[in-house]
Amino acid sequence: MIKGIDHVGIAVKSIDEAKKFWVDTLGLKLSHIEEVPEQKVRVAMLKAGETTIELLEPTSPDSPIRRFIEKRGEGLHHLTLRTDKLAERLQKLKGANVALIDEQPRIGAGGARIAFLHPKSAHGVLVELCEPHD
Ligand code: CO
């Protein structure tokens, strides 16, 4: 089942620059910064009450986040819903003809299992499902 919004991903050119607004001005707390080489990004996790804002900064010219920013500029990138039994859920979604970017869970920030659904099946929203690392 879907357990809530895990985080909202925002594409930024530079975490250091974006932090000036989100942390220094708006007052969100930086929980940590980590590099996710698999996705060619550096991510900063900011606590926003019960949920988290994830700033994504490209670490390579062929990073998907870099391409996103080139096409659409900085801004909202994905919405992440927390779920259990991710692998099983992906099978069910596939059976329901939902377009999947990841047919199998892969490892994302914080060691969570994650998978992306294609925006064309989600009314224009890039949806990430995540099963937190326990
Ligand atoms: Co994310």
Residue tagged 């900085």 (tokens): 74
d(CA 74, CA 16): 14
Q: What distance in angstroms lies between residue 89's CA and the mean position of ligand 1's atoms?
A: 18
Q: What distance in angstroms lies between residue 35's CA and the mean position of ligand 1's atoms?
A: 12
Residue 101 is classified by DSSP as: S
| Number of compact structural domains in the chain | 1
In sequence order, the β-bridge partners of residue 129 are 81, 115
Q: What distance in angstroms lies between residue 8's CA and the mean position of ligand 1's atoms?
A: 7
- Each residue's pLDDT expressed in tens, for the chain with a length of 134 residues: 899 999 999 999 999 999 999 999 999 999 999 998 888 999 999 999 989 999 999 999 999 999 999 999 999 999 999 999 999 999 999 999 999 999 999 988 778 899 999 999 999 999 999 998 76
For 106, the domain range is: 2-131
Which CATH number covers residue 60?
Answer: 3.10.180.10
Q: What is the pTM of this model?
A: 0.91
Q: What distance in angstroms lies between residue 64's CA and the mean position of ligand 1's atoms?
A: 13
Rg over CA atoms, the chain = 15
Q: What distance in angstroms lies between residue 114's CA and the mean position of ligand 1's atoms?
A: 8
Ion ligand 1 contact residues with beta carbon within 5 A: 9, 54, 80, 128
